[in-house]
């Protein structure tokens, strides 16, 4: 099986995960019984680990704080199977932290404190791209300047750039990304960038056209959660319905989806239909488990899912 080398440039966080039954109103204190945990997370780290689990050769470029959480994450990454040469420490800032509140239906609400992620810079990426990957997977939980620099390096070295377009800000300078192989926002991010809610096929197409006015992308992939995904290559569109599973926690589902899409896309001649089906299966398996890292499925898990559900997908 072809094993694409994918460099992920993105965030690394420690997640404070808590299940909640209700949100307190102003001035109210709510006692919960389910407890909380500190777990590895961050959109970049989730994606980089998913690349490895899906059978790609994963290289991760990120910044950690010189603290207890950073040391713990360094240890986890070192034993994860990822190439960690380009993970560095920031001596004057704490490791990024995300507060992840998971509702009874599995949906989550996340507040991120970037910490050391804000100090991942152009020089860090310049060193990392010298590993000459087959593709670069880029997220937006790092400084805008670093995002743009990564895109510039990808163009200069003619490396396909796959963008997980979140978190989103309306005024984010998407036009400065230059040539993008795959651009993939979720429903909320699509609405922020375009003002169009992608809740029908027609609106998905309109949103894709609006995105193409801002991003020079070869393929647009809208992540639609429980509705699957919508893929548009500028001429044709493809709707891939989601697989029905028992949802426990949606944390990292989008990260896993994009990483799985990237691996299968690069592994199979840039076949976006095949990549979309593979990514949907990866996302479906991800939401059946709690947490971020712990919920990332492997290529073997996807193979089992195909066989168990008699899915028409040639492995």
Mind listing the pLDDT tens digit of every residue in the chain (315 residues)?
Answer: 689 999 999 999 999 988 888 777 888 888 877 778 899 999 999 999 999 999 999 999 999 999 999 999 999 999 999 999 999 999 999 999 989 888 888 777 888 899 999 999 999 999 999 999 999 999 999 999 999 999 999 999 999 999 999 999 999 999 999 999 999 999 999 999 999 999 999 999 999 999 999 999 999 999 999 999 999 999 999 999 999 899 888 888 999 999 999 999 999 999 999 999 999 999 999 999 987 888 999 999 999 999 999 898 877
pTM of the model: 0.93
Q: Mind listing the pLDDT tens digit for each residue in 175-190?
A: 999 999 999 999 999 9
Q: DSSP labels for 284-309?
A: HHHTTSSSSGGGPPPHHHHHHHHHHT
Q: Mind listing the pLDDT tens digit for each residue in 280-313?
A: 999 999 999 987 888 999 999 999 999 999 898 8
Q: Could you please state the CATH topology (level 3) that the domain comprising 5-20+36-308 is classified under.
A: 3.40.1190
Q: In whole angstroms, what is the distance from residue 155 CA to residue 186 CA?
A: 24
44 with 10: CB under 8 angstroms? yes
48 with 103: CB under 8 angstroms? no
**pLDDT of amino acid 252:** 85
Q: What residue ranges do the domains of the chain occupy?
A: 5-20+36-308
**pLDDT of amino acid 1:** 65
């Amino acid at each position: 099986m072809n094993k694409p080398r994918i460099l992920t440039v993105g965030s690394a966080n420690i997640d404070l995960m808590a299940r909640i039954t209700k949100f307190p109103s102003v001035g109210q204190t709510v006692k919960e019984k389910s407890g909380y945990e500190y777990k590895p997370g961050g959109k970049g780290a989730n994606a980089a680990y998913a690349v490895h689990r899906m059978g790609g050769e994963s290289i991760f470029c990120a910044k950690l704080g010189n603290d207890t959480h950073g040391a713990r994450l360094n240890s986890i990454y070192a034993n994860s199977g990822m190439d960690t040469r380009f993970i560095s420490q920031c001596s004057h800032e704490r490791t990024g932290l995300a507060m992840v509140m998971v509702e009874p239906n599995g949906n989550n609400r996340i507040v991120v404190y970037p910490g050391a992620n804000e100090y991942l810079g152009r020089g860090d990426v310049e060193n990392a791209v010298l590993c000459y990957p087959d593709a670069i997977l880029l997220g937006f939980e790092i400084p805008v300047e670093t995002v743009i620099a990564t895109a510039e390096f990808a163009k200069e070295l003619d490396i396909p750039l796959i963008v997980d377009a979140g978190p989103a800000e309306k005024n984010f300078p998407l036009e400065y990304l230059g040539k993008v192989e795959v651009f993939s926002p979720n429903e909320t991010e699509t609405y922020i960038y375009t003002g169009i809610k992608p809740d029908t096929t027609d609106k998905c197409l309109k949103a894709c056209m609006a995105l193409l006015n801002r991003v020079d992308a070869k393929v647009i992939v809208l992540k639609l959660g429980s509705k699957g995904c919508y893929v548009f290559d500028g001429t044709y569109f493809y709707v891939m319905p989601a697989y029905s599973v028992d949802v426990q926690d949606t944390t990292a589902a989008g990260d896993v989806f994009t990483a799985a899409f990237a691996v299968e896309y690069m592994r199979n001649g840039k076949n976006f239909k095949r990549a979309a089906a593979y990514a949907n299966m990866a996302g479906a398996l991800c939401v059946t488990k709690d947490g971020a890292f712990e919920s990332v499925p492997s290529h073997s898990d996807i193979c089992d899912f195909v066989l168990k559900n008699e899915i028409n997908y040639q492995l």
